[in-house]
Chain A
Amino acid sequence: MRVSADRGEEHARPHFHSELLVRDISATAQRLRIAVLEMVFGAQSGHIGAPFSAAEIVASLYWHHLRVDPQRPDWTGRDRFLLSKGHASALLYAALAHRGFFSTDELATFRHLGSRLNGHPDRGVPGVEMAAGPLGHGLAIGCGMALALRRDVDKPGAVAASSSHATRGRVYVLLGDGELDAGLIWEGVMTAAKYRLGNLVAIVDCNGVQQTGTTAEVMPLEPLVDKWRAFGWDVQDIDGHNVGAVLAALDRADEIHARPSVIVARTTKGKGVSFMEYDHRWHGGVPNEDDYRRARAELEEGLQAWLR
């Protein structure tokens, strides 16, 4: 794990997560990939590459880090998770269903007429906090939520900000790296910095690939860490498929109270299936029968590796 070193004292506390927990969440991420493959193959429509790159991030959030209650999706004390890269909808639906927000049987209706699991998510699905699809919205909406959620703790004599996590939900926004092309993202970046939204965490699923090519070809983003830092954010640069690193980065982000925090998670588009990795054609590509069988076999093999 690489960590930015601009605020040494904030790094003092180690973040330990057991090997068992890491293996368990890694296996869950792999199960989510299998669920996504089933959904997209079943619908013959949808996105695979983005869900596969973000699987460990989403599994780490929903199976360990987020305070959510599947029985009470609107519980006011919950953490808010905003999927800004809405084309990763299959991953969000799979996570919510497997986490118990609704039945896993419903996943088979993904993108079908009459299903609430629309191609891109909306608030009609239990656990979904915002409509997504048009890219660039999550961060600015997250700013609004974070402003609202800290309102009470800002009042004189109210709970100190440092203990706000014990009483108040926090806001986590998952962004795509291609999504950072959108100017609206940087409007949100500046707004979060202006209001010093310490209760806001952005995670960039930095898979390096967008619809028609690599991010380097389409619209170069680097030096990404320097950019976020220059905008006043706390930055961590991690391996987004390493569950231990993801969990530690999330813990550490929660300890930053004076400013917003971003985790630049380096990932692989299409992670887990050899012929999908790094290939922009699997951004929105749909597997045929043969693709499906080969992908499924590779994902099962990957899952077994975590279960051994």
Chain B
Amino acid sequence: MAALMPMRAAYGTALVELGRARPEVVALSADVQTSDYSFMFGDAYPDRYFNVGIAEQCLIDVAVGLAYEDLIPFVNTFAVFMASRALEPVLTHLSYGGANVKLMAGYSGLSPQMEGPTHHAIADLAAMRALPGMTIVSPADDVAMRALLPQVAAWPGPVYYRFCRNEVPRVFDAGYAPMIGSAHLVQAGTDVALVGVGTMLSRCMDAAEELATDGVQAAVVDLHTIKPIDTEMILRVAGEAGAMVVAEEHNVLGGAGSAVAEVLSEEGLSVPLARVGVPDRFAESGSYYAMLDKFGMGVADVVRAARKVIARKRAIRNS
């Protein structure tokens, strides 16, 4: 079992490092800075930090004004609020208006855990994917958090940066060098391809290990960029493996699984596909990993989905 690393501290630390490297970076919060650790930026650079209160639409708009004056605002609130209450300003001024604002969507998926379904973000990817010009990035662990954040700052245009609240297994080492827009092949495999987003990547890796004990060779893909999606990588690994599972902490409708399904069907690559995620319902309050297990995102669920698509692949080939 990989070491569990706190994502919030990783975020706060990475943001402070970014602020040191780039003086044009400013940060804003809708008064959740002690939750998402953006307070670390405020402590380091008080004159570049703005708390607008519990006002998520205002949060976006103040950032828009700062962005139009050539600063790079990083706005902080929970993913669920970013993609619901703040969505209209995001649509009007980031997507349509092109404001170079970076949306720091901590508390992704079920990671707000005990706060309950009002705080869980299970529809945010669907909302953000439909916005023209929006880039969506999600780091899988603390190493990815630190590697991707400077790229988010450098990326031309708005980015939705979605990350977990909790301690997550560290899956990458210091050699990890992701590039926004290019999916990262964690391991090759010819029987099935497991595509993981965020915390679900480590669960895909655990599932691959379990499958390997049965002699199943699973490829594992780190889909850190959900939009623009890496069509080439998806087609390549799906073509090689002939079966695919996409695992994410989001409603199975409209998220990364849907994005991958769109790629496969539009490119005419007919491979069995299974989506692992929240099965179009709300979860409840509970501890994080227990809830992932309960609501369809356990390692066992990934393994089951893999076996299902492998069986379908064989059935098709034998028919």
| A144 is an interface residue with CB less than 8 A from chain B | yes
**Which residue of chain A lies nearest to B50 when distances are taken between CB atoms in the complex?**
A147
| Given A131-B92, A133-B92, A148-B69; A122-B62 close (CB under 8 Å) | no
Inter-chain contact B58/A145, CB cutoff 8 Å: no
- A130 touching B69 in the complex, CB below 8 Å, given contacts A140-B61, A144-B64: no
A140 touches B92 (CB 8 A): no
Once A144-B64, A184-B58 are accepted as A-B contacts, the answer to whether A122 and B97 lie under 8 Å apart by CB is yes
Tell whether, in the assembled complex, residue A134 and residue B62 are in contact, meaning their CB atoms are under 8 Å apart: no
Interface residues of A in 122-140 (CB under 8 A from B): 122-123, 129-131, 133-134, 136-137, 140
Q: Is A244 an interface residue (CB 8 A)?
A: no
Contacts of B68 in A (CB 8 A): 129-130, 141, 144-145, 148
Contact A146 B97 (CB under 8 A): no
Specify the main secondary structure of chain B where it touches its partner. Answer: helix
Q: Which residue of B is nearest A154, CB measured? A: B47
B52 within 8 A of A: yes
B57 at the interface (CB under 8 A from A): yes
Chain B residues, Cβ within 8 Å of A184: 55, 57-58, 61, 89
Assuming the contacts A141-B68, A145-B69, asked whether A122 and B96 have C-beta atoms less than 8 A apart, the reply is: yes
A164 to B200, CA, bound (A): 52
Q: Is B205 an interface residue (CB 8 A)?
A: no
Q: Which of A122, A145, A149, A190 contacts B53 (CB under 8 A)?
A: A190
Contact between B53 and A187, CB atoms less than 8 A apart = yes
**Binary B-proximity of A186-220 (CB < 8 A = 1, otherwise 0):** 01101100110000000000000000000000000
Q: Which of B195-230 contact A (CB under 8 A)?
A: none
Q: Which of B63-113 contact A (CB under 8 A)?
A: 63-71, 73, 88-89, 92-93, 96-98
Smallest Cβ distance from A123 to chain B, in angstroms?
6
Cβ-closest chain B residue relative to A138: B61
Q: Is the CB of A131 within 8 A of B97?
A: yes
Q: Which label, helix, strand, loop or mixed, suits the secondary structure of the A interface?
A: helix
Residue of B65, B67, B96, B98 near A140 (CB, 8 A) is B65
A183→B86 CA distance, assembly (Å): 13
Query: In the complex, which of the residues A129, A134, A146, A188 contacts B58, with contact meaning CB atoms closer than 8 Å?
Result: A188
Q: Chain A, 110-122, contact with B by CB distance < 8 Å: what is the 0/1 string? A: 0000000000001
A62 CB to nearest chain B CB (Å)? 19
Please report the C-alpha to C-alpha distance between residue A151 and residue B25 in the assembled complex, in whole angstroms: 13
How far is A147 from B68 in the complex, measured between Cα atoms in Å?
Answer: 11
B64 and A141 form a contact (CB under 8 A): yes
| Least CB distance, B153 to chain A, in whole angstroms | 17
Interface residues, chain B, with chain A CB atoms under 8 Å away:
47, 50, 52-53, 55, 57-58, 61-71, 73, 88-89, 92-93, 96-98
Chain A residues near B (Cβ < 8 Å): 122-123, 129-131, 133-134, 136-137, 140-149, 151, 154-155, 183-184, 187-188, 190-191, 194-195
